[in-house]
Chain A
């Protein structure tokens, strides 16, 4: 796919603090590309550099083949939906939306018809004469989107656009954003700290941490095969094991020996040799939990006994914390069958846990992880 928006070796510091550290990536035309990371990871700074509101210390930004690094914000064909929306308080909805075209000097007729069609698109027509303070959060959001899109930007920049909304509205706006993207096909660069938002809307996600990009990939790639412990922990929950390769069974199956856990069989697609130190991530929903010993042909592979330490019932699924040896594993059980017919697993029950060797994922590298990112009920 041709590269449409490219960041090349971008670095930026504020005072002594390096916020973005030599970051390079490209966004394809028409894509929804998310920059995902915890606050302070540099994602908003990258967005502001793209908008021209911040100047990079080093590096270049290319849009549609042109170097836009030194253009001022009004000379770039990008528009931003700001986190606080930044609607003009002294203008009505219609005037807010028509601001860009008016400044650009479109003729009156075109401004009116375009403003009307974008008010239609965002369902704001009936509120066109209201002022921003008379609107609800979701309506302000829509005005901000219409006000940006009317200028026909090559890239729409969205800076945590849903952060100020409550959960239900956030989900609805996410669907609306997706619909709008399908209708007009503009490239979206979406900044968020919410992995759920990023996963559900994006074609591609760049996971950022401390000013660098840890991994770029499609949502399933990022979730299923995280490169680093940070990505594994930040995108969803996971269980980590640290150990060394103790036996290579064949070209694809190995056994690893964690320092304080029983031997684990893994799918070794990275072809690591005996003695290599490895880090293994196993997603909670990939682990089976049952009161009886699971009877499969692969029995006794990655099958351990444990005690249920905590249970959280969440309706469609239940979260378990199971203590086995020195580890406390997080496990998610989806309820695909009618739960009341089964005998439930309770706190302090003795259970069997097991997982398929292919469901563990070996990480490229491991870094200390912020405790807050690790498995806590959300």
Chain B
């Protein structure tokens, strides 16, 4: 029996080792390298100098960059919130549809993935172009002045981000809603709950795993967003991702780029660590 379980452990290790090595070589080691680089001074050519310094992090948190950090955070959270807001009703109604209709809707949600995301983002550039039809309509109805622009603003970044990530929010929420036992809604209604109460107190808590997955699927890539602000955003809608690219490829300041990357990493990992810790604490409390 003992040797059996040892053998099982070995098999388990062999089967999972590719993932492990992948994570070590392409995630853990590069992250450590980036953190180390962020702590090195640079010379005017962008190369690393010997010694250690915190000057890069001081620069990051200088008043000059605070708006960029703030924008990255609020755009990401706002898009995540909007994606959840749109996905929950979609997931709810999809899971109540007949098998056939459900497949059709699922297909329609997935079909945009057949086109490269870069092309889809570029398409928005054409749709919202100052010479485009939407601009003309908006100007005609006086929604925006003739000199105004629909594109190259933070609002556009928000719109295109929501558009791009919405399917990633719908799919996990739909998957959770499909597993939801709708008889529980009847039970809640029977016990005196209005439709709204049943939705808030029974439906949402029971699809919480789907909501968490959707949040992670949207929030994390949003924080690291680079292409969308670069293509449809203006100079005033830069996000951290753009700063990293800028420092690495244009300003040639590798330590600064590394420092920005470290900050981004911390921003993504921090919520995860908090959630994990709180879960462990809660478990202890229950025991």
Contact = CB atoms under 8 A, between A and B. Distances in A.
B191 interface: yes
B197 A53 contact: no
Contacts of A74: 189-194
Contacts, number: 59
A86 interface: yes
Contact of B187 (A52, A78, A86, A104): A86
Interface in B194-244: 194, 197, 201-202, 205-206, 208
A73 B206 contact: no
B205 to A, nearest CB: 5
Given A88-B202, A90-B205, A103 B197 contact: yes
B183 interface: yes
Nearest to B197: A103
Contacts of A53: 186, 189-190
B178 to A, nearest CB: 16
Interface residues of B, number: 18
A286 B60 CA distance: 97
Interface in A136-166: 147-148, 151
A84 interface: yes
A73 B202 contact: no
B189 A86 contact: no
B274 to A, nearest CB: 22
Contact of B188 (A78, A84, A99): A99
A330 interface: no
Given A86-B181, A90-B205, A72 B188 contact: no
A73 B197 contact: no
B144 interface: no
11 contacts: A73-B186, A74-B194, A78-B190, A82-B186, A86-B184, A88-B184, A88-B187, A88-B206, A99-B188, A100-B191, A148-B191
Interface of B: 181, 183-184, 186-194, 197, 201-202, 205-206, 208
Closest 8 CB pairs of A and B: A86-B187, A73-B189, A100-B191, A90-B205, A74-B192, A80-B190, A103-B192, A86-B183
Given A88-B202, A90-B205, 17 more contacts: A52-B190, A53-B186, A72-B189, A73-B186, A74-B191, A80-B187, A82-B183, A82-B187, A84-B183, A86-B181, A88-B187, A89-B184, A99-B191, A99-B193, A103-B197, A103-B201, A148-B191
